[in-house]
Amino acid sequence: MNKNKKKLKALLAILTVIFSCLTCSTGINIFTDSDEVNLGKQFDAEIRKNFKEYPIYENKELKDYIDKNIFREVLRSPEVKKKEVYNYQIEIIKNDSILNAFAIPGGYIYLYTGLLKYLDSEAALAGVIAHEIAHVERRHATQKITTYYGISIILSIALGENPSQVTELVANLFTGLAILANSRANEDESDEYSIKYLLGTRFYPGAVKFFFEKLRDDGLVSKGSSKLATFLSTHPDPIDRISSAEKRLKMLGIEILDYKSNDNRIFKDKYKINVLSKLK
């Protein structure tokens, strides 16, 4: 590419960013959808290499069940817009002491065995998965990278001069994942989208709050709880998340159920038979 073309491309990139800032309310993002997929592929490869921190739980039967019956079911929701664009897939990480899940750009979602053992219904797991899908669809991670590196990365990528910053980010997985840690606003937005996504499925739409209700009832929402220390320091208060979800459900005219309900959109027995029984 000659110099003038490079300059033009850089200018266009900047204009695109400025223009998209005017049209979106959630901040700038210089990454395209195919950047998201490429970045996710690189991150996923790093995660798999790092098996001490992220040991993959080899249980094909369990993974297939969750993939086919819960993950794909949420993805079928008409509100999930980029299912054909992103490389949506799940992986299970063996660590019973972590009650969490996370997503990286491009559609890669990781569930800890600790979370799977802790939840007690398919709807609750669907709520968490829908929340993670929202982080991907709303591109929270790359928005964060854009903010972190600022305008310099926009110029360097546009000029094709220094793609090393993103490579560095992936290579240094721990720094990378720390940068990608979602803000409280992102968490709140993902809770909101979890409800939207579940509306189009067989699951109770408000199930994202079930995890927090169980934590509350088990006395695990206090800051001193070691299992959740990191979770609580980086996430909005679980009690606030329950009430925000309930406000949203009321606005949508959806009845308020909690995780103890036996409503037929919650699927506790199915979870016992098809998920819990397969976890060693």
**Residues contributing to the site for Zn ion (CB under 5 A):** 187, 190
Angle at 61 between CA 58 and CA 63, to 5 degrees: 65
Burial label for 274, CB within 10 Å (0-12, 13-18, 19+), is: middle
Q: Tally helices (H) and strands (E) across the chain.
A: 15, 3
Rounded CA-CA distance 92/57 in Å is 5
Which residue sits closest to Zn ion, CB atoms considered?
187
For the bound state, the minimum distance from the C-beta of residue 187 to Zn ion, rounded and expressed in Å, comes to 5
For the bound state, the minimum distance from the C-beta of residue 236 to Zn ion, rounded and expressed in Å, comes to 9
For the bound state, the minimum distance from the C-beta of residue 123 to Zn ion, rounded and expressed in Å, comes to 18
* Residue 202: other Cβ atoms inside 10 A: 16
Evaluate whether 199 touches 205 at the Cβ level (below 8 Å).
yes
Closest by CA to 213, choosing from 257, 265, 251, is 257
CB-nearer residue toward Zn ion: 65 or 118: 118
For the bound state, the minimum distance from the C-beta of residue 214 to Zn ion, rounded and expressed in Å, comes to 17
CB-nearer residue toward Zn ion: 46 or 187: 187
For the bound state, the minimum distance from the C-beta of residue 101 to Zn ion, rounded and expressed in Å, comes to 8
Q: What is the dihedral of CA 250, 254, 258, 259, to 10 degrees?
A: -140
Q: Crossing angle of helices 238-251/184-199, nearest 10°? A: 40
Evaluate whether 46 touches 161 at the Cβ level (below 8 Å).
no
For the bound state, the minimum distance from the C-beta of residue 190 to Zn ion, rounded and expressed in Å, comes to 5
For the bound state, the minimum distance from the C-beta of residue 208 to Zn ion, rounded and expressed in Å, comes to 10
CB within 8 A of 250, min separation 6: which ones? 256
CB-nearer residue toward Zn ion: 95 or 165: 95
Query: Encoding tokens for residue 133?
Result: 């899908």
CB-nearer residue toward Zn ion: 190 or 244: 190
CB-nearer residue toward Zn ion: 39 or 101: 101
CB-nearer residue toward Zn ion: 140 or 268: 140
CB-nearer residue toward Zn ion: 65 or 193: 193
